Chains A and B, each alone.
Chain A
């Protein structure tokens, strides 16, 4: 009997101690609020879209769809945070650059082409290269020149959108091929948003990378103790550089989705403020922003929690301008809850509850 209580206690402790605890609790909380407010929130209906194909719709689908870019960025941001102990604030601007490069290839420099000038795959690969080059630029500043990540990435954060506009001579080309819109929308006949599949593909790739390489061990080692890592034969400079390049790749994928959603681009608005949400996703996942140990899945879950929150706020008719203020409240709660002191007290509370149960029994 008492053994079982002990088991319960340690289970509770393990639960509270787990990194997925905070994002899961936040997710459940949001779900409950929505359930009380309007159970219809969770309804998913099968309708038809303008083109006459069947599609699922509903708030949950919206969350899954629009959380995609953030989920993908969270992967790269987690690695950058772990290895360098800092964050990349240029991802929104580099999405604009990669997206603009993609459009330039697709539209060939004219703003209203009648057909696409190059296969989509070529355009996407070019965007990947551009994204990785941006990542490499940030990575070199951080890893080789030892500039603080936030300062290093401030350069592209500031200049990125201008560069993006310059790539297309400040025109807003429109992709004429409806196939291009599949990536940010629906493939005819498949009722689930394509973005969901893209995210799943990304998650599978990173899961395989983490399983079959030492990326996880090396980034964490470098983030925790660079000196020791070096003396153990790891090249910290390269690892940091690598994480920024990987984030660049994530940026290119996110850019594909973003540009595909509109089939065009708006340089000053595309992926605006997404860097802060991506950083928030990492923090929400319980990862220390000072680097070191990380939990990839908690970060990705964190990204969807943020999208869940955004969608919920829209549902409550909060205007998009006021959104930031509400998010700030969540950040405060989050920071307080993940503080070690509060966690310790929560653990003690759990212990007390356990022992009072014992008394009753």
Chain B
């Protein structure tokens, strides 16, 4: 083994019932290296990480560490002892404990806890990493971004040799991402090997030294970052040359029915109890528009108010010019509005239920309590959409929670498309999803709009919004501060509107 190596994985195999998740995969990591692990959803990135951290037991293969030789990792504790720390995509801390408790839990080796010292240490560490949280604060009261940073602080503090960051940036805004990158570079200089899993290509090219690409559970190759330009990387991940990402808007054309000017949905002075200011909003038939703004600017709260997901306290809502009352999600659904929520895990999937049940759920609820679909009908619906959206699942009976993130998202999308809504709201539909699926979803949105569906699209990635939307509502501090369309739809203009430089 090379002197510089800190970790080597050789010939890793892992299968689940019906799926070979990893086949003969090799991976190696040097000291002081930031190594990106790339691949589409279901390529095996998460599985490889989970094998390394002891969440799954590998079926075959060896894991070798520089100082300990071949190691057997059967549990997350084993991994921790070997110096492997992980920060997962989804926060895995305990929201009901304090920040300090979360940082030190499970590390006392049975010794009595010195609360005072623990809090002091935590405070010091938080300060050195510039994390805006107090040690004694309850974790649930921190924003998602801060929770994520606490998880990283915990990992950093454990003197790790290998730090795994599994999609750490998906819920952070740009500044926070920069701070995280600073932290990563700092750790790199101290000789820590970092495995970085992300879907953001920009970020890979900003911080990483090497890239390992996986596809369908197999190793495609390991590359120096300089040797692999972006286009090639995407091609490797997809296993084919990509369509041009940059312009998909022109392709399909727009909806050209006679009623293209009709306002499908119109809200005035709408306000919910989620702390947003009253706002006006409308969408025309076949239009794609979007809410943009920083994380926490109230984008999601606005669409939740439209759908009745939060309690509406004020405002008038019209569908096709007729006033309607939407006070709960069912009202919205009855009016042909569908809403794909931001947090797939908390608000979207029903984990233990099958893919089929998850797909038919919304339409079933709409059809009524006393009219369940027959088994044959449900199967037909599920099969249709599994095929249509190319959902990768062992069968329609598989529980949705065992699918990869992107495929779960497709199932939720299928659920709402099955309802044939007039107005579809997509809140961060592409978060944590690979490039291929992202493009699929964007294309689908434009196709649907062309057929006359109105779509509101929310995304943290501005270029994605620019690619799909013809009109953008800009938000700042829980308030609508502007609306952009036509020639104003540029990155710069959006930025300046968000920042409040109205003079441009």
Chain A residues with CB under 8 Å of chain B are: 211-215, 217-218, 220-221, 224-225, 227-235, 292-293
Contacts and interface: CB of A to CB of B under 8 A. Distances in A.
A221 B346 CA distance: 13
B450 to A, nearest CB: 27
Nearest to A229: B350
B351 A218 contact: no
16 contacts: A213-B370, A214-B365, A214-B370, A217-B357, A217-B372, A221-B350, A224-B351, A224-B353, A225-B350, A228-B341, A228-B347, A228-B348, A231-B307, A232-B362, A233-B333, A235-B330
B351 A225 contact: yes
A293 B353 contact: yes
Contact of B309 (A215, A224, A231): A231
B338 to A, nearest CB: 10
B361 interface: yes
Nearest to A216: B372
Contact of A233 (B330, B350, B353, B372): B330
A222 to B, nearest CB: 9
B394 to A, nearest CB: 13
Interface in B334-349: 339, 341, 346-349
Contacts of B362: 232-233
Interface in B293-310: 307, 309
A224 B372 contact: no
B339 A214 contact: no
Contact of B329 (A218, A220, A232): A232
Contacts of A214: 364-365, 368-370, 372
B60 to A, nearest CB: 16
A230 B351 contact: no
B352 A232 contact: no
A160 to B, nearest CB: 31
A204 to B, nearest CB: 18
Nearest to B17: A13
Given A224-B350, A293-B353, A217 B361 contact: yes
Given A217-B372, A221-B350, 13 more contacts: A214-B365, A217-B353, A217-B357, A220-B350, A221-B361, A227-B346, A230-B309, A231-B307, A231-B348, A232-B333, A232-B361, A232-B362, A233-B329
A217 B366 CA distance: 13
A220 B364 CA distance: 14
Contacts of A293: 352-353
A142 B123 CA distance: 40
Contacts of A221: 350, 353, 357, 361
A9 to B, nearest CB: 12
B419 to A, nearest CB: 10
B349 A213 contact: no
Contacts of A224: 350-353
A210 B350 CA distance: 19
Contacts of B368: 214
B372 A232 contact: no
A228 B369 CA distance: 17
B365 to A, nearest CB: 4
A146 to B, nearest CB: 16
Interface of B: 307, 309, 328-330, 333, 339, 341, 346-353, 357, 361-362, 364-366, 368-370, 372, 415
Contacts of B353: 217, 220-221, 224, 293
A161 to B, nearest CB: 36
Given A224-B351, A225-B351, A293-B353, A213 B329 contact: no
Contacts of B328: 233, 235
Nearest to A220: B353
A218 B369 contact: yes
Contacts of A227: 346-347
B357 A233 contact: no
A213 B366 CA distance: 13
A227 B351 CA distance: 12
Across chains A and B, which 8 residue pairs bring their CB atoms closest together, nearest first? A233-B330, A233-B365, A225-B350, A227-B347, A224-B350, A233-B333, A224-B352, A214-B372
Given A214-B372, A220-B353, A231 B361 contact: no
Contacts of B339: 231
Contacts of B346: 225, 227-228
A228 B329 CA distance: 11
A293 B329 CA distance: 24
Nearest to A242: B369
A293 B358 CA distance: 13
Given A213-B370, A214-B369, A231 B329 contact: yes
Nearest to B399: A293
Nearest to A227: B347
Contacts of B370: 212-214
A220 B351 CA distance: 10
B352 A292 contact: yes
Contact of A234 (B307, B349, B351, B365): B365
B341 A231 contact: yes
A213 B370 CA distance: 4
A30 B483 CA distance: 73
B352 A228 contact: no
Among B330, B341, B369, the most chain A Cβ lie within 10 Å of the Cβ of: B369
A212 B367 CA distance: 13
Nearest to A10: B17
Nearest to B347: A227
A239 to B, nearest CB: 10
Given A217-B372, A221-B361, A233 B352 contact: no
A235 to B, nearest CB: 8
Contacts of B341: 228, 231
Contacts of A211: 372
Contacts of A212: 370, 372
Nearest to B307: A231
Contacts of A232: 329, 333, 361-362, 365, 415
Nearest to A288: B352
Contacts of B415: 232
A235 B327 CA distance: 12
Nearest to B368: A214
A225 B333 CA distance: 19
A227 B353 CA distance: 15
B350 A228 contact: yes
A233 B350 CA distance: 14
A214 B329 CA distance: 18
A225 B349 contact: yes
Contacts of A220: 350, 352-353
Contacts of A292: 352
